[in-house]
Structure 1
């Protein structure tokens, strides 16, 4: 079974170092080190995926929980994730696996499951799809592709729940195997992405446009955090941006609960969520309140 660390496809050599091409960070990785994600490591001048076939979380979920409201409605999806992430969100609800180094050091956690085993379990569970979720699937894009290819043969759909930080190389690598994406648009300011996620807004916007242009089913989620990204103008800008692509793209506005390093922020009030929905409906046809 292919469940050991595996050499990845998306990288190139630059002198004595390796340039990872999986996400928009495009980390330059020296011998023995990993990228920001913590799971793509330079071992003897080759880049390996340490979490290939190492599943840290798996569940059978209603597809609406992803959330996807306009794709395979009222079906179950086989959800899987590993440790690691290319963002460092200080409000992450899955920080124990996404930012695993803070809790477990370099130890790679997860049960060993090959792509074929995952597909068999999804079929046996009467799921109609596999969702790559919980942590960021872009950092294990080769494993996602291998699993997606097998899933297609069993007539299963493939879903990515992602922060949208795909590189162009990564998007082109996976685009023909993914049927739906829910992309987190966490804010509409570079400041938020830089300070709260250690990332950038621009690549996320580019991914959203690419996904729509390719014809992959697209829904967008924004977690509304009081005092962080709940300003009226910012929310308008998010809605306007989505509408500029297609006013029928579903926008999910999700309730924040204190997590990780943002325990001092209150949970989002129903009133704020309703006002955000009202703003969204001025520009978009499908605006949903979630996580309540």
Structure 2
């Protein structure tokens, strides 16, 4: 019987792979890849057996249940000693890696988790946004942009996550809106208007700085900067598309002081070009 490795591919830059992840990619007998591994796919040796199981909110090559079963089938087939499940970011941060691990354990399949750098941390850093900064923010909260609000769960409204539902039992957006510190919303583009509306509804000031970080670590990376009160309009004008990480909080302003020398497309309230 083979062993399954749940490997975090990080934010898509192959140079940010861990040494262990890089080694396993080379040693794997078969690799199941996500959509969010970007440039890491170039590190897969030619001729390696690859199964693309990537999912988006609109399109699934395989459902999560089918992926779980496929991992078991490959491991018990006797054909593959090392089965690598290559996942964007970190397998255990909104990557459904824990669901896959539980399924493997229930079916007696040996597995190992190889952590990766989460896009929640890496993408803001690449755009020059620190998630904590002394005197500005001493805490970070990471949520998924696909999660429903508790009241919506109770009313039976369906979410819009990977499988048409959120990660858990409904997010307390009132509590989130009243947190001090930095808020990071992963998968934040699709429900941007809805989630911004929730934060405003529950009392977060409209002047709160916001940055929408689109397609981090790709040649098409862009940043849209604004405030909670106008970020939806700015993002629509810029035609922002997934994947995107949304950062909410005063740390967004620190970026101006840490502006990187290399050019990154900036779209903001001061220099937005009307479409």
In which range does the TM-score fall when normalised by the shorter chain?
Answer: 0.3 to 0.5
TM-score w.r.t. length of structure 2: 0.32
Asked which structure has the greater CA Rg, the reply is: 2
Higher relative contact order structure (alpha carbons within 8 Å, sequence separation ≥ 6): 2
